[in-house]
Amino acid sequence: MAISETDTKLLWGRAAGICSNPNCRDDLTIILNNDKNYNIGEMAHLIAKKPDGPRGQLGGGSDSYVNLILLCPSCHTHVDKAPGEYSESLLKKWKSDHEAEIRSVGAEQIFDTLTQLKEFVSKLLLENNSVFEAFGPKSEAAKDAGSNLYQVWNFRKLDTILPNNRKIINAIEANSELVSGDEYAEFLLFKNHAVAFERNQYNRLDSYPLFPQTFAERYRV
C-alpha cells in the first residue's frame, strides 16, 4: 500500500518541508531558475514495512502519517543504516519536537511597538503573495500545461504559506495588547481563513473563507 496523498501533505505541511533531524534542518524543496524544480525530502518509516527492516516489528509498519517522519536523504540513510543508534522512540521525539516548534514559531516574537509588529506581519504577507503570484492557480506558470510548477505550488503552500500563516497568528496573539479592537477583528478574519486554508490542504472542504484583503491593508507599513 502506497503512502496516500493526505498523509504526504500532512507530513510535509506539519514539518514545513524541513528535515526533522534537530541537527540538520535542511530545506527539502529546491527551486531553480530553469523550471527544473524538485524536492529532496524523503518520507522515512519509523517502523520498517518489513519485519526484518530498520526498527522492524512483527507484521511490519504502516504507510500512514503516524509511522512516517520527513528527512533529507542523508539523514534517512543514517537512521536506516544504524537503527540501533536511531530508535523508534528517538525518531518519534524528533518528529513531535519539530512539529511543535513549527506550530509555535512566531510566539517568541515580542515587539515594543505596533509598527514593529506590522513590519513583521507585512514581510510574511509579501512572501506569501510572491509565492502565490509565481506559482498559484492564477500565475503564468499555471497556464502552461507542460510545466511542473503546479507541483511547486503544492509544496510551497505546505512549506512556506502555512508556516508563515502560523507565524502571523502566533505573533499577533503574543502581542495582542499592541493592537486595537478593530485591528484584532481584522486579524480574526485572517485567522479563520488561515485555519480553514490549512485544513483544506489535507482534506478538501466544499468552501472556506478567502484571504481578507482588508487584513493586508490594515497591517501594511
Q: Each residue of 149-168: pLDDT tens digit? A: 667 788 889 999 999 999 99
The per-residue DSSP string of 106-138 comes to TTT---SSHHHHHHHHHHHHHHHHHHHHHHSTT
pLDDT above 70: percentage of residues in the chain: 92
- DSSP sequence for 40-104: --EEEESS-SSTTSTT--TT---SSGGGEEEE-HHHHHHHHH-TTTS-HHHHHHHHHHHHHHHHH
Q: Against a cut of 0.75, is the pTM above it?
A: yes
Q: Which pLDDT score, from 0 to 100, does residue 64 have?
A: 96
Rounded Cα gap, residues 120 and 105, in angstroms: 13
Whether the per-residue pLDDT at 205 is higher than 60: the answer is yes
Chain-centroid distance of CA 63 in Å reads 20
Distance CA 211, CA 200 (A): 13
Residue-wise pLDDT tens digits, 52-101: 999 999 999 999 999 999 999 999 999 999 999 999 999 999 999 999 99
145 pLDDT band, cuts 50/70/90, is low
Q: Express each pLDDT in 5-15 by its tens digit.
A: 899 999 999 99
**Tens-digit pLDDT profile for residues 17-45:** 999 999 999 988 775 555 556 678 999 99
Q: Which residue is it, cell 502565490?
A: 132
